Amino acid sequence: MSVLNPYFCKTFGINTQSRSMQKEIELPIPPDFIHDEGYIKQQGAQKLRIPIKRIHGFRVHKRSIDARGRQVLYRIKVIFFIDEAPILPTVISELKDVRDAPPVIIIGAGPAGLFAAYRCLELGLKPIVFERGKEVRERRRDLARINKEGVVNPESNYCFGEGGAGTYSDGKLYTRSNKRGDVHKVLSIFVEHGADEDILIDARPHIGTNKLPHIIESMRHRILEKGGEILFDTKVVDILAEFGQVTGVQTADGTVFRAQHVLVATGHSARDIFELFRRKNWLLEAKPFALGVRIEHPQEIIDRAQYHCDLRHDNLPPAYYSLVEQVQGRGVFSFCMCPGGIIAPCATDADEIVVNGWSPSKRNNPHANSGTVIQINLDDVPQVETNPFALLDFQRQIEQRAFEQGGGNLVAPAQRMVDFVENRVSHDLPVNSYKPGTRSVNLNEVLPQFVHEALREALPVFGKKMHGYYTNEAILVGVESRTSSPIRIPRDKETLQHPQIAGLYPCAEGAGYAGGIVSAAIDGMNCVEAISRRL
């Protein structure tokens, strides 16, 4: 038996009483070898300075792409199993049967609502979920009609229906919400219901719009199996309360459902919920949001710029980017970037244009798109201090103006990038992914002056930061306006309840407390934990 060097043991934390151990190290791996297990074991053995035969297996813990140098590399954090058999992580949720448990009403079946329902099962509470839209399979018919005919069903669209807006927003799971809750738990629940395990290790995980519906359906079946309830095509029109305590909800058909705990997870586009709070004189407040356009490039332009090559390696995913610039004290930034993606029509009413982006799991479409937006501050719109709807009204006006400039049928106003900066209407528009169609206009006629001026100044700067970005091959499509809610429903920091109504829990994006699938899911679970503590 060879004797281990004491300095080596101390440096790497090796227990000299037992040679069996697990060791995590970081390795740079060229794209050619990212799927080569033998190569990774060889590199690990060299860095650990041990014979390769002592490595009985490994598990990649984290994976990211490093494109800072001329050679693009994967950087992977690997757990090597030395002198012991590999241990594979298992993900099995412990869920209770809740048929006779205390009820929790959840309004909305988006990420926040579904994960709140799931957390109810773990804590022994019965979730009753109300969703104004349809099951995910039925919802697809309404989406097809939006794209082909430009007809919006106000109750079933890209924002409303099973899975919420998250179902058709690429399934991007990148988040900075680690301090708010357990990100790994959210990702693990997705894996348990059919998502690829790669989301547990990728630095920028995503599921893909083509795969999300099946995962959402699987979560629904699990909730129902354990005694939870989910009611589709069931719109909540009133939240009932007596003496400052919530007592239940009423649906559009007049039916009343009773519960002492109501979680409002309706998303940033359920404007009727804000109107309900206004009618009841329940506290609301205006909240900053962001406004701009979707910008679409040929994906190959982004690949060349980010990977420093003419042709992307087969083992590299379509490239993404993240850009930000300060213009006259105001931030201009890319948002929700979709490599190999599609620009989608996300209006919730017939007389407005709202665009968003999504990608399939392979991100293999020929275009890349990203929201490029400017922060709208409270002092940008008059009467914000006295009117919590001031920013929402401003948002609605821009969306309706975009509809008018597009000419109807969800045709979106658009302009080539350089033409926009140089203030001329494009003679023609490039082929793009927005299916209802685009119309060449001067986007100055759509966007507020301070927004288009900030964009006009920022785009050439982005071009200096990323070679090839500033080009007339890129198209600006208006408007990207639903980045977040322009209204916040206040809540107590400790109890997460509305300050006026006990048992009422404003939650996630619609209430102004989340900014994506994972953060919304975490907020939904946090609200249920607050309910459990109260019980």
| Proportion of the chain above pLDDT 70, given as a percent | 95
- Lowest-pLDDT range of 14-18, 97-101, 138-142, 286-290: 14-18
CATH number of 103-284+489-534: 3.50.50.60
Residue 127's pLDDT band (cuts 50, 70, 90): very high
pLDDT at position 12 is 41
Cα(435)–Cα(423) distance, rounded to whole angstroms? 26
pLDDT at position 413 is 98
CATH architecture of the domain with residue range 6-82? 2-Layer Sandwich (3.30)
Compute the average pLDDT of residues 471-500. Answer: 97
Residues ≥6 apart with Cβ < 8 Å to 240: 246, 247, 248, 249, 250, 256
Residue 8's pLDDT band (cuts 50, 70, 90): very low
Residue 287's pLDDT band (cuts 50, 70, 90): very high
**Domain positions in the chain:** 6-82, 103-284+489-534, 286-480
Beta strands in 219-288 (DSSP E): 229-231, 236-242, 245-251, 256-258, 262-264, 285-286
pLDDT at 495 exceeding the cut of 80: yes
Sign of CA dihedral 351, 355, 356, 358: positive
Show the DSSP H helices in 166-211 as ranges.
Answer: 183-192
Indicate the residue type of 257: F
Cα(186)–Cα(98) distance, rounded to whole angstroms? 21
What is the pTM (predicted TM-score) of this model?
0.93
Indicate the residue type of 147: N
pLDDT at 169 exceeding the cut of 80: no
Compute the average pLDDT of residues 504-517. Answer: 94
Which has the closest alpha carbon to 295: 323, 261, 272? 323
At 386, list the tokens: 């006295």
pLDDT at position 168 is 80
